[in-house]
Structure 1
Amino acid sequence: MNPVQSFWDIKLGELREVFEDSGYVTYVAKNQKAAASMVLDKILPQLKPASVSFGGSTTVVESGIYDQVKKLKNVKVIDTYDTTPSMAERIERRRQSLLTDVLITSANAFTEEGELVNLDGTGNRVAAMAFGPRNVIVVVGRNKLCVDLDAAVSRIKEYAAPVNAMRLKRKTPCAVTGKCQDCNSKDRICNVWSITEKSSPKGRIHVVFINEDLGF
């Protein structure tokens, strides 16, 4: 048995209980394939959504959830990842996603105290996580675990934000230096913070912890 996998099985099992106590519905998946199956074959059938959308997440794409959700029958999918429409249309899709039955996304960090911590560019993802969609599904890799809120903020500013700026080819100082400069660039992606301490109402947010390193 892989000792690293065993360690995280124990750790994520403990975290599942912490998050359950804070009102989340939680699951642990052994890998990204299992996480996709959990979302497609278990959670979505239970929720029976008529409409689904997404908050920006490489984890949702890497796990295959995005591609599989687009194939669902009798479900309206508002595709906020599609870059072919005009910017005005893309923004309108983000607005429409706030009123879907289910939003599927990830988190920039989660803590041992049961918090989801996120930093957004335009705020559509964190807005939807806080209010709007009837349910939210958060799929998150084990690598995003932080001891507490301070560590989560540091992780996001010092690692996740610069890496995402590079991924998105943004013209920001951090995309060049790898370090946050607290810039005023028009391409800045660090604009709206959210800290979710508990799911309100209880059971609205479903969290799938994945026993693999995924996303940033």
Structure 2
Amino acid sequence: MTTIDTSARFTTLPDDATLSATVAALQERGFGVEVVDDVHAARRAALARIPHGSSVMTNASVTLQETGIDDAVNKGDAYESARNKMFALDFTTQAREMKVIAGQADYALGSVQAVTRDGSLVIASASGSQLAGYAWGAANVIFVVGAHKLVPTLEVARERVYQHSLKLEDVRAQAAYGQRSSVGKVLEIHQEQPGRIHIILIRQQVGF
């Protein structure tokens, strides 16, 4: 049995003062932010922001699975699932079309590995497949984030990626796909035009 060190350093929920300060910093950098109490409220908040019929890309995320957002988008009929549309194609012959679908949806949904006290986001990926949509391609981005991912600085955010998130994702990937995970690419978002990226912070430990 594999033992994982889930240090309290990276799993402790912030106090109200820290949470409020982080929300204010994110807003100053152009991000929309709302704080909710649990996964059910997070799911309602995320889906309420997406007009019916919109194309929605749910990027690989334990948080989206644990909140039920992944199933609500990809197993329902309220939205056009970009993920379902993408995986209906053949990667060998239609990789270009798959990348366009994944990267240019009306809404890109996912999570992040860390949020810094001064309002920066850090997202790690093995392949980088979701990062283009987050950085520029998607018209709108919604990040659903457990508040335990708040960290004081970018240095600690990077430590969280390698010392915490990667360890948990590696175990998940081996169980799900039979292969190890890695950090191939890291995206840092420090500023955004108001209205494009919305962050839903959950007062619970959700995701890695």
TM-score (norm. length: structure 2): 0.82
Distance in structure 1 (CA, Å) of the matches to 2:147 and 2:53: 27
Q: Specify the alignment match of 2:32 in structure 1.
A: 25
Following superposition of structure 1 onto structure 2, how do residues 32-51 of structure 1 map, counting pairs within 5 Å? 32-41=39-48, 43-45=49-51, 50-51=54-55
Distance in structure 2 (CA, Å) of the matches to 1:65 and 1:95: 22
Runs of 4+ in 1 over 6 A off after TM superposition: 82-86
Distance in structure 1 (CA, Å) of the matches to 2:117 and 2:53: 30
Aligned residues: 193
The alpha carbon displacement at 1:32 in A equals: 0.9
2:70 paired with 1:63 = no
Distance in structure 1 (CA, Å) of the matches to 2:93 and 2:34: 35
Amino acid of the structure 2 residue aligned with 1:154: E
Change (3 A) 1:85 1:35: same
- Give the one of 99, 102, 112 matched to 1:97: 102
Q: Specify the alignment match of 1:169 in structure 2.
A: 174
Distance in structure 2 (CA, Å) of the matches to 1:89 and 1:106: 30
Q: Specify the alignment match of 1:194 in structure 2.
A: 187
Gaps of 5+ in 2: 1-11
Instruction: Note if contact 1:12-1:209 (Cα within 8 Å) is conserved in structure 2.
Output: no
Instruction: Note if contact 1:109-1:145 (Cα within 8 Å) is conserved in structure 2.
Output: yes
Gaps of 5+ in 1: 176-185
2:44 paired with 1:52 = no
The alpha carbon displacement at 1:83 in A equals: 8.0
Q: Specify the alignment match of 1:114 in structure 2.
A: 119
Instruction: Note if contact 1:24-1:205 (Cα within 8 Å) is conserved in structure 2.
Output: yes
Percent of aligned positions that are identical: 25
The alpha carbon displacement at 1:108 in A equals: 0.9
Instruction: Note if contact 2:91-2:98 (Cα within 8 Å) is conserved in structure 1.
Output: no
C-alpha distance after superposition, 1:34-89 (max 9, x if no partner): 11111112x114xx66200122210011001111123142x311126x98986648
TM-score (norm. length: structure 1): 0.79
Amino acid of the structure 2 residue aligned with 1:119: A
Tell me the C-alpha RMSD between the 2 structures. 2.8
Q: Specify the alignment match of 1:211 in structure 2.
A: 203
